[in-house]
Amino acid sequence: MASTRPPRVPLLTLLMRRYPEEEKKTLYAWILCGEIRVNGTGVKDPKQVVSEDSFLEHRGGGYVSRGGDKIASVFPYLLERYPPLDPSGAYVLDAGASTGGFSDFLLQAGASRVYCLDVGYNQLDYRLRTDPRVTVLERCNVLDVEELIRQGRIDPAPWFCTADLSFRSIQGAASALLASSTKGLLLALIKPQFERRYASKHRGRTGGGWSDDFEGIVSEDEIPDILEDVRSRLSREGVQILEVLPSGVPGAKGNQEYFFLMTMKSGN
């Protein structure tokens, strides 16, 4: 009979899968500095072989990933202008939670509950996974939020939502998340390299147009057109952009990323 035990891989390899937003050299440094715990035990050897389903915990910086620093870079400004975004006592849905940078920020800011939704599996940092204020929603598509609410897996409904989606556009997801929010607000990180590919694929821009590369660097010249394209597509979806703010922390490849604060247009 074939073994059903999960495959075993080097710790550095597993970290690269769990923390795709971090550079390899950063993950290597985390291990050497004793910042990584595997199933509760510290490991300092990047080559040590561990089970692929191991629980990983990063005890280094202020948040479990750079995502926490990204959202923290814009939140004080937004909270001053939009009081309904106050995380204190809030129920928040974090779509594309991954390792949990946004979720960690929200919890440290006083959220009562965070629904950590991701299409992936076993990516959420162990500290957050075991936090009683966290509801883990793995292998769940962002477009299925309404169904998760009907099933009672998201209960009570989130006050507002956050999103950090990779390898897809915010289009389609935005209206689904806003429909679930009792205060009608969504704060999403827009990654130009993903939106560029989406626009290129669906609008037929080739040759001298935008690249179809998910991972490439987006030039400063491309960004205004890409952001305007996102705004146009969201508008057709009935979504209104309230604020566009550059993230104070760049993406792992150096791309400038942007936060969109969104709501539904009146009458939608």
* Per-residue pLDDT tens over the stretch 96-136: 999 999 999 999 888 999 999 999 988 999 889 999 999 99
Specify whether 41 is located in the same domain as 125. Answer: no
Residue 49: CATH number of its domain: 3.10.290.10
Specify whether 54 is located in the same domain as 70. Answer: no
What type of residue is 131? Answer: D
State both tokens at 219: 């030039």
Residue 225: CATH number of its domain: 3.40.50.150
Domain, as residue range, for 49:
8-58
Phi, psi torsion values for 105, nearest 5 degrees: -60, -45
| 1 in a structural domain | no
Which of 24, 40, 58 is at the close of a domain?
A: 58
Q: For position 56, what pLDDT does the model report?
A: 79
Specify whether 70 is located in the same domain as 39. Answer: no
The 160-163 sheet, strands edge to edge:
134-138, 113-118, 91-95, 160-163, 186-190, 258-264, 239-246
Q: What is the mean pLDDT of residues 210-236?
A: 80
> How many angstroms separate the CA atoms of 230 and 226, rounded?
6
Q: Is the peptide bond before 156 cis (omega within 30 degrees of 0)?
A: yes
Specify whether 249 is located in the same domain as 161. Answer: yes
Q: What is the band of 33 on the pLDDT scale with cuts at 50, 70, 90?
A: low
| 113 in a structural domain | yes
| 80 in a structural domain | yes
Q: For position 207, what pLDDT does the model report?
A: 35
Q: Measured between alpha carbons, how far is residue 166 from residues 67, 86, 184, 211, 263 in Å? A: 12, 25, 23, 17, 21
Least trusted range by pLDDT, from 1-15, 147-161, 175-189, 228-242: 1-15
Specify whether 203 is located in the same domain as 84. Answer: yes
pLDDT at 222 over 80: yes
State both tokens at 138: 């793995």
Q: For position 254, what pLDDT does the model report?
A: 80
| 3 in a structural domain | no
Specify whether 239 is located in the same domain as 188. Answer: yes
Specify whether 31 is located in the same domain as 48. Answer: yes
Q: For position 154, what pLDDT does the model report?
A: 97
Q: For position 2, what pLDDT does the model report?
A: 53
The single-letter DSSP state of residue 219 is P
Sign (positive/negative) of CA torsion 108, 111, 112, 115?
Answer: negative
Q: How many domains does the chain have?
A: 2
When comparing pLDDT for 37 and 89, which is higher?
A: 89
Q: For position 268, what pLDDT does the model report?
A: 64
| 2 in a structural domain | no
pLDDT tens track for 174-211: 999 999 999 999 999 999 888 887 665 544 443 334 44
What type of residue is 218? Answer: V
Specify the residue for token string 């598509």.
141
Specify whether 80 is located in the same domain as 184. Answer: yes
| 207 in a structural domain | yes
| 105 in a structural domain | yes
How much of the chain exceeds pLDDT 90, in percent? 54
pLDDT tens track for 128-176: 999 999 999 999 999 999 999 999 999 999 999 999 998 888 999 999 9
Specify whether 223 is located in the same domain as 152. Answer: yes
pLDDT at 53 over 90: no
The mean predicted confidence, pLDDT, of the chain is: 87
Q: What is the band of 35 on the pLDDT scale with cuts at 50, 70, 90?
A: confident
Specify whether 107 is located in the same domain as 40. Answer: no
Specify whether 46 is located in the same domain as 147. Answer: no
Task: For residue 92, list its beta bridge partners.
Answer: 114, 160
Q: What is the mean pLDDT of residues 205-222?
A: 59
What is Dmax (Cα atoms) for the chain? 61
Specify whether 112 is located in the same domain as 220. Answer: yes
Q: What is the pTM of this model?
A: 0.76
| 163 in a structural domain | yes
